[in-house]
Protein backbone atom coordinates (compact mmCIF):
# COMPACT_ATOMS: atom_id res chain seq x y z
CA UNK A 1 0.00 0.00 0.00
CA UNK A 2 1.34 3.41 -0.85
CA UNK A 3 1.86 5.67 2.11
CA UNK A 4 -0.72 8.44 2.42
CA UNK A 5 0.57 11.98 2.48
CA UNK A 6 0.26 14.33 5.41
CA UNK A 7 -0.71 17.75 4.07
CA UNK A 8 -0.97 20.98 6.04
CA UNK A 9 -2.99 24.02 5.00
CA UNK A 10 -2.36 27.33 6.71
CA UNK A 11 -4.54 30.42 6.41
CA UNK A 12 -3.89 33.65 8.29
CA UNK A 13 -6.80 34.95 10.38
CA UNK A 14 -8.56 38.10 9.06
CA UNK A 15 -5.24 38.86 7.42
CA UNK A 16 -5.29 42.54 6.33
CA UNK A 17 -7.26 43.56 9.43
CA UNK A 18 -4.92 41.64 11.74
CA UNK A 19 -1.88 43.41 10.26
CA UNK A 20 -3.57 46.78 10.85
CA UNK A 21 -4.42 45.87 14.44
CA UNK A 22 -0.92 44.55 15.08
CA UNK A 23 0.50 47.88 13.91
CA UNK A 24 -2.00 49.90 15.94
CA UNK A 25 -2.84 47.93 19.10
CA UNK A 26 -5.40 50.56 20.14
CA UNK A 27 -7.68 48.90 17.55
CA UNK A 28 -7.50 45.54 19.30
CA UNK A 29 -10.96 44.19 20.21
CA UNK A 30 -12.75 46.70 17.96
CA UNK A 31 -14.67 46.04 14.73
CA UNK A 32 -12.10 46.89 12.04
CA UNK A 33 -13.01 46.94 8.36
CA UNK A 34 -10.33 47.13 5.66
CA UNK A 35 -11.58 48.25 2.26
CA UNK A 36 -12.85 51.18 0.24
CA UNK A 37 -13.75 54.52 1.83
CA UNK A 38 -17.33 54.20 3.17
CA UNK A 39 -17.93 57.98 2.77
CA UNK A 40 -20.53 57.92 5.52
CA UNK A 41 -22.50 55.24 3.73
CA UNK A 42 -22.40 56.57 0.18
CA UNK A 43 -19.01 55.06 -0.73
CA UNK A 44 -18.62 52.67 -3.61
CA UNK A 45 -16.25 49.71 -3.58
CA UNK A 46 -16.12 46.74 -1.27
CA UNK A 47 -14.85 45.28 1.99
CA UNK A 48 -11.48 43.52 1.56
CA UNK A 49 -11.76 41.89 4.96
CA UNK A 50 -12.69 42.69 8.53
CA UNK A 51 -11.81 41.65 12.08
CA UNK A 52 -13.81 38.89 13.76
CA UNK A 53 -15.42 41.57 15.95
CA UNK A 54 -16.81 43.19 12.78
CA UNK A 55 -18.03 39.82 11.47
CA UNK A 56 -20.48 39.68 14.38
CA UNK A 57 -22.36 42.50 12.62
CA UNK A 58 -22.65 40.42 9.44
CA UNK A 59 -19.84 42.23 7.63
CA UNK A 60 -17.69 40.07 5.30
CA UNK A 61 -15.20 40.21 2.41
CA UNK A 62 -16.69 41.33 -0.89
CA UNK A 63 -19.67 43.13 0.70
CA UNK A 64 -20.36 46.68 -0.57
CA UNK A 65 -18.62 49.06 1.80
CA UNK A 66 -21.81 51.15 2.07
CA UNK A 67 -23.66 48.12 3.41
CA UNK A 68 -20.87 47.46 5.91
CA UNK A 69 -21.18 51.08 7.06
CA UNK A 70 -24.92 50.69 7.62
CA UNK A 71 -24.39 47.47 9.57
CA UNK A 72 -21.83 49.09 11.87
CA UNK A 73 -21.23 52.83 11.42
CA UNK A 74 -18.94 52.86 14.46
CA UNK A 75 -16.51 50.37 12.98
CA UNK A 76 -12.97 51.54 12.22
CA UNK A 77 -12.70 51.78 8.42
CA UNK A 78 -9.16 51.54 7.01
CA UNK A 79 -7.86 51.72 3.40
CA UNK A 80 -5.71 48.73 2.43
CA UNK A 81 -1.93 49.08 2.55
CA UNK A 82 -0.96 46.37 0.06
CA UNK A 83 2.77 46.97 0.38
CA UNK A 84 2.65 46.28 4.08
CA UNK A 85 0.57 43.09 3.63
CA UNK A 86 2.90 41.83 0.90
CA UNK A 87 5.90 42.37 3.19
CA UNK A 88 4.27 40.49 6.05
CA UNK A 89 3.21 37.74 3.67
CA UNK A 90 6.73 37.15 2.40
CA UNK A 91 8.07 36.95 5.96
CA UNK A 92 5.44 34.32 6.76
CA UNK A 93 6.20 32.32 3.61
CA UNK A 94 9.90 32.42 4.47
CA UNK A 95 9.21 31.06 7.96
CA UNK A 96 7.15 28.25 6.42
CA UNK A 97 9.88 27.42 3.92
CA UNK A 98 12.48 27.38 6.69
CA UNK A 99 10.35 25.14 8.88
CA UNK A 100 8.96 22.74 6.30
CA UNK A 101 10.96 22.84 3.07
CA UNK A 102 8.98 23.11 -0.15
CA UNK A 103 5.71 25.05 0.17
CA UNK A 104 2.89 25.82 -2.22
CA UNK A 105 1.73 29.38 -1.68
CA UNK A 106 -1.81 29.79 -3.00
CA UNK A 107 -2.66 33.35 -2.00
CA UNK A 108 -1.25 36.24 -0.01
CA UNK A 109 -2.14 34.55 3.28
CA UNK A 110 -2.43 30.85 2.46
CA UNK A 111 -0.07 27.98 1.77
CA UNK A 112 0.09 24.19 1.65
CA UNK A 113 2.98 22.25 3.20
CA UNK A 114 3.86 18.60 2.84
CA UNK A 115 4.54 17.10 6.27
CA UNK A 116 4.73 13.47 5.15
CA UNK A 117 8.32 13.36 6.45
CA UNK A 118 6.94 13.80 9.99
CA UNK A 119 5.67 10.21 9.63
CA UNK A 120 2.77 10.49 12.08
CA UNK A 121 -0.13 12.80 12.81
CA UNK A 122 1.12 13.33 16.37
CA UNK A 123 4.45 14.60 15.03
CA UNK A 124 2.74 16.70 12.36
CA UNK A 125 0.49 18.25 15.02
CA UNK A 126 3.53 19.23 17.09
CA UNK A 127 5.19 20.61 13.99
CA UNK A 128 2.06 22.69 13.30
CA UNK A 129 2.04 24.07 16.85
CA UNK A 130 5.66 25.06 16.36
CA UNK A 131 4.77 26.84 13.11
CA UNK A 132 1.92 28.70 14.81
CA UNK A 133 4.25 29.74 17.61
CA UNK A 134 6.96 30.94 15.18
CA UNK A 135 4.45 33.08 13.28
CA UNK A 136 3.06 34.48 16.52
CA UNK A 137 6.51 35.26 17.95
CA UNK A 138 8.19 36.52 14.80
CA UNK A 139 5.27 38.21 13.01
CA UNK A 140 2.77 38.88 15.80
CA UNK A 141 -0.20 37.27 14.05
CA UNK A 142 -2.39 34.19 14.43
CA UNK A 143 -3.28 31.65 11.78
CA UNK A 144 -5.48 28.61 11.40
CA UNK A 145 -4.12 25.25 10.33
CA UNK A 146 -5.67 22.07 9.00
CA UNK A 147 -3.80 18.77 8.64
CA UNK A 148 -5.23 15.89 6.62
CA UNK A 149 -4.31 13.22 4.05
CA UNK A 150 -4.88 15.46 1.02
CA UNK A 151 -4.75 19.05 -0.10
CA UNK A 152 -8.50 19.59 -0.24
CA UNK A 153 -9.21 17.92 3.11
CA UNK A 154 -6.45 20.02 4.74
CA UNK A 155 -8.06 23.17 3.38
CA UNK A 156 -11.47 22.13 4.65
CA UNK A 157 -9.94 21.28 8.03
CA UNK A 158 -8.28 24.70 8.42
CA UNK A 159 -11.72 26.33 8.08
CA UNK A 160 -13.16 24.42 11.03
CA UNK A 161 -11.80 26.31 14.01
CA UNK A 162 -10.97 29.83 12.90
CA UNK A 163 -9.43 31.96 14.32
CA UNK A 164 -6.22 30.50 15.79
CA UNK A 165 -7.37 26.93 15.14
CA UNK A 166 -5.55 23.65 14.63
CA UNK A 167 -7.68 20.86 13.20
CA UNK A 168 -6.29 17.41 12.53
CA UNK A 169 -8.17 14.91 10.39
CA UNK A 170 -6.49 11.52 10.29
CA UNK A 171 -7.31 9.07 7.50
CA UNK A 172 -9.50 7.01 9.85
CA UNK A 173 -11.57 10.11 10.68
CA UNK A 174 -12.04 11.42 7.15
CA UNK A 175 -15.49 9.96 6.50
CA UNK A 176 -16.99 11.05 9.79
CA UNK A 177 -15.48 14.51 9.26
CA UNK A 178 -16.85 14.88 5.75
CA UNK A 179 -20.24 13.29 5.97
CA UNK A 180 -22.19 15.93 8.00
CA UNK A 181 -20.61 18.96 6.27
CA UNK A 182 -22.83 20.98 3.92
CA UNK A 183 -21.95 20.55 0.23
CA UNK A 184 -20.67 24.13 0.11
CA UNK A 185 -17.77 23.21 2.37
CA UNK A 186 -16.06 21.63 -0.63
CA UNK A 187 -13.80 24.29 -2.15
CA UNK A 188 -14.98 24.92 -5.69
CA UNK A 189 -18.66 24.31 -5.00
CA UNK A 190 -20.17 27.76 -5.25
CA UNK A 191 -23.60 29.08 -4.39
CA UNK A 192 -25.14 28.01 -7.71
CA UNK A 193 -23.94 24.40 -7.72
CA UNK A 194 -24.87 24.09 -4.06
CA UNK A 195 -28.41 25.25 -4.83
CA UNK A 196 -28.75 22.71 -7.65
CA UNK A 197 -27.62 19.98 -5.26
CA UNK A 198 -29.92 21.10 -2.47
CA UNK A 199 -32.83 21.18 -4.95
CA UNK A 200 -32.02 17.55 -5.75
CA UNK A 201 -32.13 16.72 -2.02
CA UNK A 202 -28.35 16.53 -1.70
CA UNK A 203 -27.40 18.65 1.31
CA UNK A 204 -24.33 17.14 2.87
CA UNK A 205 -21.09 15.63 1.62
CA UNK A 206 -22.40 12.31 2.95
CA UNK A 207 -25.38 12.71 0.57
CA UNK A 208 -22.96 13.23 -2.34
CA UNK A 209 -21.04 10.09 -1.40
CA UNK A 210 -24.21 8.03 -1.81
CA UNK A 211 -25.05 9.48 -5.24
CA UNK A 212 -24.51 7.46 -8.34
CA UNK A 213 -22.07 8.84 -10.83
CA UNK A 214 -24.65 9.44 -13.60
CA UNK A 215 -26.74 11.72 -11.39
CA UNK A 216 -23.67 13.77 -10.48
CA UNK A 217 -22.47 13.89 -14.08
CA UNK A 218 -25.72 15.60 -15.06
CA UNK A 219 -24.86 18.43 -12.69
CA UNK A 220 -21.07 18.54 -12.74
CA UNK A 221 -20.07 16.95 -16.04
CA UNK A 222 -16.44 15.83 -16.02
CA UNK A 223 -15.91 17.03 -12.43
CA UNK A 224 -18.33 14.41 -11.12
CA UNK A 225 -15.73 11.65 -10.73
CA UNK A 226 -13.42 13.79 -8.60
CA UNK A 227 -16.30 15.08 -6.54
CA UNK A 228 -17.45 11.57 -5.79
CA UNK A 229 -13.91 10.60 -4.79
CA UNK A 230 -13.61 13.63 -2.53
CA UNK A 231 -16.93 12.88 -0.85
CA UNK A 232 -15.88 9.27 -0.25
CA UNK A 233 -12.64 10.23 1.49
CA UNK A 234 -10.49 8.86 -1.33
CA UNK A 235 -8.76 12.03 -2.49
CA UNK A 236 -5.00 11.99 -2.07
CA UNK A 237 -3.73 15.01 -3.97
CA UNK A 238 -0.57 16.55 -2.54
CA UNK A 239 1.10 19.87 -3.24
CA UNK A 240 0.83 21.25 -6.76
CA UNK A 241 3.83 22.57 -8.58
CA UNK A 242 3.63 26.33 -8.60
CA UNK A 243 4.84 27.35 -12.02
CA UNK A 244 8.58 27.30 -11.91
CA UNK A 245 9.87 25.43 -8.92
CA UNK A 246 12.12 27.60 -6.85
CA UNK A 247 14.09 24.81 -5.22
CA UNK A 248 14.73 21.10 -5.04
CA UNK A 249 14.95 19.46 -1.65
CA UNK A 250 15.12 16.20 0.26
CA UNK A 251 14.58 15.29 3.87
CA UNK A 252 15.43 12.40 6.11
CA UNK A 253 13.93 11.55 9.48
CA UNK A 254 16.08 9.39 11.76
CA UNK A 255 14.35 6.42 13.34
CA UNK A 256 16.23 7.30 16.50
CA UNK A 257 17.60 10.84 17.04
CA UNK A 258 21.14 10.95 15.75
CA UNK A 259 24.14 12.23 17.68
CA UNK A 260 26.68 11.13 15.09
CA UNK A 261 28.02 13.85 12.79
CA UNK A 262 29.36 11.13 10.47
CA UNK A 263 25.93 9.57 10.15
CA UNK A 264 24.24 12.94 9.61
CA UNK A 265 26.73 14.05 6.96
CA UNK A 266 26.54 10.63 5.32
CA UNK A 267 22.80 11.07 4.81
CA UNK A 268 23.25 14.66 3.65
CA UNK A 269 25.81 13.57 1.05
CA UNK A 270 23.42 10.89 -0.16
CA UNK A 271 20.74 13.53 -0.60
CA UNK A 272 23.18 15.75 -2.49
CA UNK A 273 23.83 12.93 -4.92
CA UNK A 274 20.13 12.50 -5.61
CA UNK A 275 19.53 16.24 -5.87
CA UNK A 276 22.44 16.74 -8.28
CA UNK A 277 21.01 13.98 -10.44
CA UNK A 278 17.69 15.83 -10.42
CA UNK A 279 19.41 19.07 -11.45
CA UNK A 280 21.12 17.24 -14.28
CA UNK A 281 17.90 15.66 -15.50
CA UNK A 282 16.25 19.06 -15.57
CA UNK A 283 19.39 20.73 -16.91
CA UNK A 284 19.54 23.35 -14.20
CA UNK A 285 22.08 24.63 -11.69
CA UNK A 286 21.77 25.84 -8.12
CA UNK A 287 23.33 28.84 -6.56
CA UNK A 288 22.13 28.62 -2.97
CA UNK A 289 22.82 25.57 -0.83
CA UNK A 290 20.84 25.19 2.36
CA UNK A 291 20.55 22.68 5.16
CA UNK A 292 17.86 22.24 7.77
CA UNK A 293 18.27 20.49 11.07
CA UNK A 294 15.36 19.70 13.32
CA UNK A 295 15.96 18.66 16.88
CA UNK A 296 13.67 16.79 19.23
CA UNK A 297 10.73 19.04 19.99
CA UNK A 298 10.59 20.56 16.50
CA UNK A 299 13.03 23.37 16.99
CA UNK A 300 14.39 23.79 13.48
CA UNK A 301 17.43 25.67 12.35
CA UNK A 302 18.36 26.44 8.79
CA UNK A 303 21.49 27.81 7.27
CA UNK A 304 22.40 28.52 3.69
CA UNK A 305 25.21 29.82 1.58
CA UNK A 306 25.11 31.45 -1.82
CA UNK A 307 27.91 30.52 -4.17
CA UNK A 308 29.56 32.88 -6.62
CA UNK A 309 28.70 30.57 -9.51
CA UNK A 310 25.70 28.26 -9.84
CA UNK A 311 26.70 24.61 -9.81
CA UNK A 312 25.48 21.03 -9.86
CA UNK A 313 28.80 19.49 -8.97
CA UNK A 314 28.43 17.02 -6.13
CA UNK A 315 31.83 17.80 -4.62
CA UNK A 316 31.25 21.56 -4.45
CA UNK A 317 27.82 21.16 -2.90
CA UNK A 318 29.09 18.62 -0.38
CA UNK A 319 31.83 21.03 0.66
CA UNK A 320 29.29 23.81 1.16
CA UNK A 321 27.16 21.48 3.25
CA UNK A 322 30.08 20.31 5.36
CA UNK A 323 30.86 23.97 6.12
CA UNK A 324 27.27 24.81 7.05
CA UNK A 325 26.96 21.72 9.21
CA UNK A 326 30.21 22.45 11.06
CA UNK A 327 28.83 25.88 11.98
CA UNK A 328 25.63 24.37 13.35
CA UNK A 329 26.76 21.18 15.03
CA UNK A 330 26.64 21.42 18.83
CA UNK A 331 26.01 17.78 19.87
CA UNK A 332 22.23 18.28 20.24
CA UNK A 333 20.45 15.09 19.10
CA UNK A 334 19.05 15.50 15.59
CA UNK A 335 15.65 14.21 14.52
CA UNK A 336 15.39 15.33 10.92
CA UNK A 337 17.72 16.74 8.32
CA UNK A 338 17.05 18.40 4.98
CA UNK A 339 19.07 19.68 2.07
CA UNK A 340 17.68 22.33 -0.23
CA UNK A 341 19.15 23.68 -3.43
CA UNK A 342 17.62 26.97 -4.53
CA UNK A 343 18.52 29.93 -6.71
CA UNK A 344 17.91 27.63 -9.68
CA UNK A 345 19.07 28.82 -13.08
CA UNK A 346 19.00 27.28 -16.52
CA UNK A 347 22.13 28.67 -18.06
CA UNK A 348 25.38 26.78 -18.02
CA UNK A 349 27.64 28.85 -15.76
CA UNK A 350 30.83 27.66 -17.46
CA UNK A 351 29.59 28.57 -20.91
CA UNK A 352 28.52 31.92 -19.69
CA UNK A 353 31.77 32.75 -17.94
CA UNK A 354 33.76 31.69 -21.03
CA UNK A 355 31.73 33.92 -23.31
CA UNK A 356 32.34 36.76 -20.90
CA UNK A 357 35.91 36.93 -22.10
P1 LIG B 1 -9.03 35.26 3.33
O2 LIG B 1 -8.04 34.30 3.88
O3 LIG B 1 -10.16 34.72 2.52
O4 LIG B 1 -9.71 36.07 4.54
P5 LIG B 1 -9.08 36.63 5.87
O6 LIG B 1 -7.68 36.18 6.05
O7 LIG B 1 -9.27 38.10 5.91
O8 LIG B 1 -10.02 36.01 6.98
P9 LIG B 1 -10.09 34.49 7.47
O10 LIG B 1 -9.73 34.56 8.92
O11 LIG B 1 -11.50 34.08 7.26
O12 LIG B 1 -9.11 33.70 6.66
O13 LIG B 1 -8.31 36.34 2.47
C14 LIG B 1 -7.01 36.84 2.77
C15 LIG B 1 -6.92 38.32 2.47
O16 LIG B 1 -7.24 38.54 1.10
C17 LIG B 1 -7.88 39.16 3.27
O18 LIG B 1 -7.37 39.55 4.53
C19 LIG B 1 -8.13 40.32 2.34
C20 LIG B 1 -7.95 39.77 0.95
N21 LIG B 1 -9.28 39.55 0.32
C22 LIG B 1 -9.82 40.57 -0.47
O23 LIG B 1 -9.19 41.62 -0.65
N24 LIG B 1 -11.06 40.38 -1.03
C25 LIG B 1 -11.80 39.25 -0.84
O26 LIG B 1 -12.94 39.13 -1.34
C27 LIG B 1 -11.23 38.19 -0.03
C28 LIG B 1 -12.01 36.93 0.21
C29 LIG B 1 -9.98 38.41 0.53
MG1 LIG C 1 -7.14 34.17 5.78
pLDDT in tens, 65-81: 999 999 999 999 999 99
Q: Does 123 fall in a domain? A: yes
Q: Which of 152, 175, 198 is the last residue of a domain?
A: 175
User: Ligand 1 mean position to 61 CA, how many Å?
Assistant: 6
pLDDT at 356: 42
d(CA 303, CA 320): 11
Tell me which of 109, 135, 158 to substitute to probe ligand 1's pocket, judged by most ligand atoms within 8 Å of the beta carbon.
Answer: 109
Q: Does 186 fall in a domain? A: yes
User: Ligand 1 mean position to 60 CA, how many Å?
Assistant: 9
Q: Does 134 fall in a domain? A: yes
User: Ligand 2 mean position to 164 CA, how many Å?
Assistant: 11
pLDDT in tens, 113-148: 999 988 899 999 999 999 999 999 999 999 999 999
pLDDT over 60 (residue 352): no
The answer, yes or no, to whether any atom of ligand 1 lies below 6 A from the CB of 11, is yes
pLDDT at 221: 87
The answer, yes or no, to whether any atom of ligand 1 lies below 6 A from the CB of 158, is no
pLDDT in tens, 273-320: 999 999 998 889 999 999 999 988 777 888 999 998 999 999 999 999
pLDDT at 349: 52
CATH of the domain at 143: 3.30.70.270
Q: Does 347 fall in a domain? A: no
Residue 192: which domain range? 179-231
pLDDT over 60 (residue 355): no
d(CA 32, CA 165): 21
* Average pLDDT for 158-167: 98
pLDDT over 50 (residue 198): yes
pLDDT over 90 (residue 2): no
User: Phi/psi zone of residue 188: left (φ > 0), alpha (ψ -120 to 50 degrees), beta?
Assistant: left
Q: How far is CA 265 from CA 117, 124, 259, in A?
A: 18, 25, 11
User: Phi/psi zone of residue 319: left (φ > 0), alpha (ψ -120 to 50 degrees), beta?
Assistant: alpha
Task: Give the three-class secondary structure for 152.
Answer: helix
Strand residues in the chain grouped as ranges (E) = 7-12, 32-35, 47-50, 76-78, 103-107, 110-114, 143-148, 166-168, 247-258, 285-295, 300-311, 334-345
The answer, yes or no, to whether any atom of ligand 1 lies below 6 A from the CB of 66, is no
User: Ligand 1 mean position to 108 CA, how many Å?
Assistant: 9
Q: Which of 153, 175, 197 is the last residue of a domain?
A: 175
pLDDT in tens, 38-74: 999 999 989 999 999 999 999 999 999 999 999 999 9
The answer, yes or no, to whether any atom of ligand 1 lies below 6 A from the CB of 14, is yes
The answer, yes or no, to whether any atom of ligand 1 lies below 6 A from the CB of 150, is no
Q: Does 2 fall in a domain? A: no
Residues 70 and 91 in one domain: no
Question: Rg of the Cα trace of the chain?
Answer: 24
Angle between the N-to-C axes of helices 82-100 and 121-139, in degrees from 0 to 180, rounded to the nearest 10: 140
Query: For residue 255, how far is the Cα from the chain centroid?
Result: 26
pLDDT at 245: 66
DSSP annotation of 312 reads -
pLDDT in tens, 207-226: 999 999 998 998 888 889 99
d(CA 197, CA 73): 37
Give the total number of structural domains in the chain: 4
User: Ligand 2 mean position to 165 CA, how many Å?
Assistant: 12
Residues 113 and 146 in one domain: yes
Peptide bond into 163 cis (omega under 30): yes
The answer, yes or no, to whether any atom of ligand 1 lies below 6 A from the CB of 48, is yes
Residues 254 and 336 in one domain: yes
Residues 255 and 332 in one domain: yes
Tell me which of 15, 22, 106 to substitute to probe ligand 1's pocket, judged by most ligand atoms within 8 Å of the beta carbon.
Answer: 15
Give the mean pLDDT of the chain: 92
List active site positions. 110
pTM: 0.81
Residues 156 and 87 in one domain: yes
The answer, yes or no, to whether any atom of ligand 1 lies below 6 A from the CB of 51, is no
Residues 281 and 198 in one domain: no
Tell me which of 9, 47, 61 to substitute to probe ligand 1's pocket, judged by most ligand atoms within 8 Å of the beta carbon.
Answer: 61
CATH of the domain at 331: 3.30.1490.100
Amino acid sequence: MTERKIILHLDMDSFYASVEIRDNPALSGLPVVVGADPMKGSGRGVVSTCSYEARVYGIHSGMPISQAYHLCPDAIFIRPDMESYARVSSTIMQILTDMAGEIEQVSIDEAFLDLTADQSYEQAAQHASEIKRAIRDQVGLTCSIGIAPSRIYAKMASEQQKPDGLTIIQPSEILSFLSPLPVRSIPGIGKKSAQVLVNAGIRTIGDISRCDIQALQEIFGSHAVRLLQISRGLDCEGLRETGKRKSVSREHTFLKDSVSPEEILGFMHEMVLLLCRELEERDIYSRTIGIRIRYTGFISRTRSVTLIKPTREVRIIEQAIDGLFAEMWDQTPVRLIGVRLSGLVHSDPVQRSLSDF
